[in-house]
Amino acid sequence: MMAILNAAITQMASGNDWAKNCDKAEGLVREAAAKGAQLVLLQELFDGDYFCIEQHVHFLKRAEEIDRHPTVKRFASLAKELGVVLPVSVFERAGNAHYNTTVIVDADGRELGIYRKSHIPDGRGYQEKFYFSPGDTGFKVWDTAAGRIGLGICWDQWFPECARAMALMGAEILLYPTAIGSEPPNPDYDSSTHWQNVMRGHAAANIMPLLASNRVGRETAPDGRSDIFYGRSFIADHQGEKLAEMDRTEEGVRLASFDLDDIRDLRRSWGVFRDRRPELYGALLTLDGKTRTERS
């Protein structure tokens, strides 16, 4: 554990070439580590193109079991070499199921466990329900050499329940690897500021820093449909203020430092966890907001 944490986000374009994608991601991790980063966040499914734009069954062949996944093996070795905590986002096969999974790799290269994406979107340009089963791990936190981290994946970041659950479990920093960009049903709509503001709210409401890493560039499906990923990866402090941000096209890294002890003391003293009333939040356990008593 450490009090002062130097954390980094990365941002890059990914294509249909595993080796080139991994080489590029490794270069960014090395750059971040050389600048003093102890925790480096890569984007969602960085080792390939975003195959979920449309439904094509042959893409399911990309999934690999975690214990033999080449991306996990390569980046676990890199984490050990550089001494950095490195969440690794991959397409996982588990028997006949497929998951959007992140493996948490500690600074000594140990795989601490996995998180499987809980909220799976389904819409034009983001047809993930065809490829991924809803995650069955539940929300989790991990004690790492960089502090106690909580991680959600992309669509998870729009749900305050996810962030609050991880905060209640003791997370000290929230991480969101992401793949988001244009909205095909409405090409003129730009969700990027809304996307940032929702996560900045998680940071402020839970009084902890937050990192979000997104991809950039146009990616095209076999049928010709495409998404343009808008980047804008950022780091927010425990009050939700942006400390670092990337633009819509650049590839690179950004760093920020946090005193986790000071933030922990503030979080404990502020009262937002002391004054919670879980017994009043029954509506959160329903889809329609009606408790069992109201339905009877």
Judged by DSSP in three states, 258 sits in strand
Rounded to whole angstroms, the Cα distance separating 92 from 70 reads 11
Task: Point out the catalytic residue in the list 22, 52, 154, 162.
Answer: 154
Find tokens 């554990």 and name the residue.
Answer: 1
What is the residue whose two structure tokens read 């001494």? 83
Query: How many residues would you count in the chain?
Result: 296
Cα separations in angstroms, 141 against 21, 30, 116, 137: 28, 25, 13, 11
Q: Among residues 22, 24, 117, 140, which one is catalytic?
A: 117
Whether the CB-CB separation of 142 and 113 falls below 8 Å is answered with yes
**Is 154 marked active-site?**
yes
Catalytic, 44? Answer yes
Cβ 124 vs Cβ 184: under 8 Å: yes
Look at residues 164, 162, 160, 195 and name the one whose alpha carbon lies nearest to residue 178.
195
Residue 241 designated active-site: no
Looking at 22, 24, 44, 162, which residue is catalytic?
44
**β-strand partners of 291:** none
Rounded distance between C-alpha atoms, residue 281 and residue 12, angstroms = 40
In the 8-state DSSP scheme, what is residue 208?
A: S
> Looking at the annotation, which residues are catalytic?
44, 117, 154
